Amino acid sequence: MDLLQAPHSGPRKKRPRKAGALMVSGAHEVRFGDLVLFILEKKMGSTRRAFLMDLARSKGFRVEDELSDAVTHLVAENNSGNDVLEWLQVQNIQASSRLELLDVSWLIECMGAGKPVEMTRKHQLVVRRGSPASPNPDAQKTPSRSVQRISEYACQRRTTLNNCNYAFTVTRLCFSTWSRGRNAFEILAENCEFKENEDSYVTYIRAASVLKSLPFTIISMKDTEGIPCLGDRVKCIIEEIIEDGESSEVNAVLNDERYKSFKLFTSVFGVGLKTSEKWFRMGFRSLNKIKSDKSLKFTRMQKAGFLYYEDLVSCVTRAEAEAVSTLVKEAVWAFLPGAFISMTGGFRRGKEIGHDVDFLITSPEITEDEEQQVLHKVINLWENKGLLLYSDLVESTFEKLKLPSRKVDALDHFQKCFLILKLHHQREDNEKSSQQEEKTWKAIRVDLVMCPYERRAFALLGWTGSRQFERDLRRYATHERKMMLDNHALYDKTKRIFLKAESEEEIFAHLGLDYIEPWERNA
Ligand code: CTP
Ligand code: MN
Ligand code: MN
């Protein structure tokens, strides 16, 4: 594979260690030959780093430009030991056990003294347990805890559907079916979303996500040490749940009038935050009142949402998703026999239930015109068969040279349709159930996306989710790689080129990330 590696992620060259007592570092004589420093730019900035490097060299310290095996002391500013370890991990560098991780305060003291000063605890960067650089004796007792340092990015964690932290999952305090099975922090995050409080939303959703990824159960506060994304506010709540089995804050949200109303209103297909806000302000608290109110105007989407409400709130099972998949394949292949059709979304991540079924469709060797026609033909076919309950087709606004979006939640530009299909029950005893009135079908939400063949890897990655996983992939690309990623493309800002990919594996490789399987993306 011809993989374009990021500048630092390739194999490192071993620098030959120069022999002799007198070594030259820059233009200065090296006076303290057994110390080899490297100063980390991250969070320090290049100007300050260059200044400190010059200063240290002028005082007779050997300072390396790059982190090589020769380096004995790594100096960082505003970084914890774990931050440094994570940086090393991102760069694909195995830290030697003798590498000292030091705060810049040590270097400053050395500069003042004109010679190396003693390293004390206040200088040494603490690596919390669970890190490869400092095997913790405690960690050995609980091997599941120790394996690797946990990244702050969901795209560097493997989050399967096996959750070890059900204690934080709201089942007992749950009053409604919609909140069941969600963890305390997802509820808090959702409440912030309803209040459009973006910062708190991010705090809680990241905490929720990291808890889901843990391969061990948190049973005491000590277990939260070294776990990223758990700030003081979050830790307080964890402590309360450990002690009392529930959180007063979460309970308050679950009983909150506004939260309950928004939860109810947004459970209708086509109703978002704006409409919920309006109905809430108008004093509505139940769907029945809203439905029967003659003064309210509903969109076509909301009308369908009310009409098929019961079916749509009862989740789609995997068996139903498979039946829909058969329908989709039959219909698409009727017009485009060579099409590739992948089920994406939650079902691709291994979920057993979902709120809809998502598909990505693509085909090599078709013209743009043919490509544009497929979804129209498929919808027509279902319409004629009486299977189409609702459809909204959005035409493509895709442009080949458009840079990936900067927004983490940006919508994509592919042609797609949001549908409600009539799925007939596949019961053989259909005729046996003689009651004529019994409904023999279920309304199912289906999303179809059509993408150009050469973008299929990006589209597949983008439409597989989870949403939180996607957000962190983009955040990671931007902040750690100076790249831009969205559902269409990956752009390297340093090299000013688009990075092509034929598979998801190649995209992860471009980003210098270990490959995460779809079923490990349930962040
Ligand atoms: N997605 C997207 N653009 C949209 C809608 C969705 O890129 N306009 C992506 C999101 O990254 C999301 C995935 O497609 O993770 C699937 O979306 P959705 O069906 O909403 O969520 P699922 O993860 O499939 O969960 P559910 O089981 O509830 O459907
Ligand atoms: Mn879905
Ligand atoms: Mn969807």
133-181 pLDDT per residue, tens: 433 334 333 334 444 689 999 999 999 998 888 778 654 433 344 455 6
Kindly indicate the confidence band of residue 434, based on its pLDDT and cuts at 50, 70 and 90.
low
Q: Is residue 15 part of a domain?
A: no
Q: What is the pLDDT of residues 381-429, one digit of tens each?
A: 999 999 999 999 999 999 999 999 988 888 899 999 999 999 999 766 5
Q: Which of 292, 294, 261 has the alpha carbon at shortest distance from 278?
A: 261
Question: Is the separation of the CB atoms in 60 and 37 below 8 Å?
Answer: no
Hey, which of 177, 313, 342, 358 would you mutate to test ligand 1's pocket, going by the most ligand atoms within 8 Å of its Cβ?
A: 358
- Distance (Å) from CA 347 to ligand 3 centroid: 10
- Distance (Å) from CA 269 to ligand 1 centroid: 14
Cα separation, 408 vs 429, in Å, equals: 48
CATH number at 322 reads 3.30.460.10
Check residues 68 and 363 and name the one with the higher pLDDT: 363
How are strands ordered across the β-sheet holding 36-39? 62-64, 36-39, 73-76, 100-103
Report the mean per-residue pLDDT for the chain: 87
Helices 184-194 and 273-281, interaxial angle, to 10°?
70
Last residue of a domain, one of 96, 111, 141: 141
Same domain for 229 and 262, yes or no, is no
Same domain for 465 and 349, yes or no, is yes
Q: Which residues are catalytic?
A: 356, 358, 447
First to last CA, the chain: 29
Q: Which two tokens stand for residue 60?
A: 């007779």
Same domain for 54 and 118, yes or no, is yes
Q: DSSP H helical segments within 99-141, as ranges?
A: 104-113, 137-141
Cα separation, 316 vs 353, in Å, equals: 5
Same domain for 491 and 370, yes or no, is yes
Report the pLDDT value the prediction gives residue 174, as an integer from 0 to 100.
37
Report, as an integer, the average pLDDT of 265-289. 98
- Distance (Å) from CA 81 to ligand 1 centroid: 36
Per cent of the chain over pLDDT 70 is: 86
Same domain for 164 and 274, yes or no, is no
Same domain for 235 and 326, yes or no, is no
Kindly indicate the confidence band of residue 348, based on its pLDDT and cuts at 50, 70 and 90.
very high
Q: DSSP H helical segments within 245-314, as ranges?
A: 248-254, 257-265, 273-281, 287-292, 300-307, 309-313
Same domain for 158 and 266, yes or no, is no
Cα separation, 341 vs 459, in Å, equals: 12
Q: What is the pLDDT of residues 85-111, one digit of tens each?
A: 888 888 888 777 678 899 888 998 888
Q: Is residue 399 part of a domain?
A: yes
Which residues lie across from 491 on neighbouring strands? Answer: 484, 498
The count of domains in the chain is 4
Q: Is residue 515 part of a domain?
A: no
Which of ligand 1's atoms lies nearest the C-alpha of 356? 29
Same domain for 194 and 289, yes or no, is no
CATH number at 134 reads 3.40.50.10190
- CB of residue 161 inside a 6 A radius of ligand 1: no
> What's phi and psi for 148, nearest 5 deg?
-150, 160
Q: Which of 194, 187, 192 has the alpha carbon at shortest distance from 171?
A: 187
- CB of residue 466 inside a 6 A radius of ligand 1: yes
- Distance (Å) from CA 461 to ligand 2 centroid: 13
Q: Which of 427, 410, 389, 433 has the alpha carbon at shortest distance from 489?
A: 410
DSSP string of 222-249, one letter each residue: GGGTT-TT--HHHHHHHHHHHHHSS-HH
Cα separation, 255 vs 379, in Å, equals: 42
Give the range of the structural domain holding residue 299, as residue numbers without chain letter: 257-307
Which of ligand 1's atoms lies nearest the C-alpha of 466? 15
- Distance (Å) from CA 419 to ligand 1 centroid: 14
Residue indicated by tokens 């277990």 = 223
- Distance (Å) from CA 346 to ligand 2 centroid: 5
Report the pLDDT value the prediction gives residue 170, as an integer from 0 to 100.
58
Q: Is residue 91 part of a domain?
A: yes
Last residue of a domain, one of 112, 141, 170: 141
- Distance (Å) from CA 344 to ligand 1 centroid: 8
- CB of residue 407 inside a 6 A radius of ligand 1: no
Q: Is residue 11 part of a domain?
A: no
- CB of residue 270 inside a 6 A radius of ligand 1: no
- CB of residue 488 inside a 6 A radius of ligand 1: no
- CB of residue 472 inside a 6 A radius of ligand 1: no
- CB of residue 467 inside a 6 A radius of ligand 1: yes
Q: Is residue 79 part of a domain?
A: yes
CATH number at 270 reads 1.10.150.20
Hey, which of 463, 470, 473 would you mutate to test ligand 1's pocket, going by the most ligand atoms within 8 Å of its Cβ?
A: 463
Report the pLDDT value the prediction gives residue 430, as an integer from 0 to 100.
56
CATH number at 250 reads 1.10.150.110
Q: What is the pLDDT of residues 187-242, one digit of tens each?
A: 999 999 999 999 999 999 999 999 999 988 898 999 999 999 999 999 999 999 99
Report the pLDDT value the prediction gives residue 81, as an integer from 0 to 100.
85
Q: What is the largest CA-CA distance in the chain?
A: 98
Hey, which of 159, 177, 190, 356 would you mutate to test ligand 1's pocket, going by the most ligand atoms within 8 Å of its Cβ?
A: 356
pTM: 0.73
Same domain for 268 and 359, yes or no, is no
Same domain for 347 and 288, yes or no, is no
- CB of residue 462 inside a 6 A radius of ligand 1: yes
- CB of residue 345 inside a 6 A radius of ligand 1: yes
Q: Is residue 22 part of a domain?
A: no
Q: What is the pLDDT of residues 20-31, one digit of tens each?
A: 334 454 578 999
Peptide bond just before 466 cis, omega within 30 deg: yes
Cα separation, 363 vs 371, in Å, equals: 8
Give the number of the ligand closest to the Cα of residue 346: 1
Same domain for 357 and 301, yes or no, is no
Last residue of a domain, one of 141, 174, 191: 141
Same domain for 468 and 400, yes or no, is yes
Report, as an integer, the average pLDDT of 472-486. 98
Q: Ligand 3 being an ion, which residues bring their Cβ within 5 A of it?
A: 356, 358, 447
Q: Is residue 4 part of a domain?
A: no
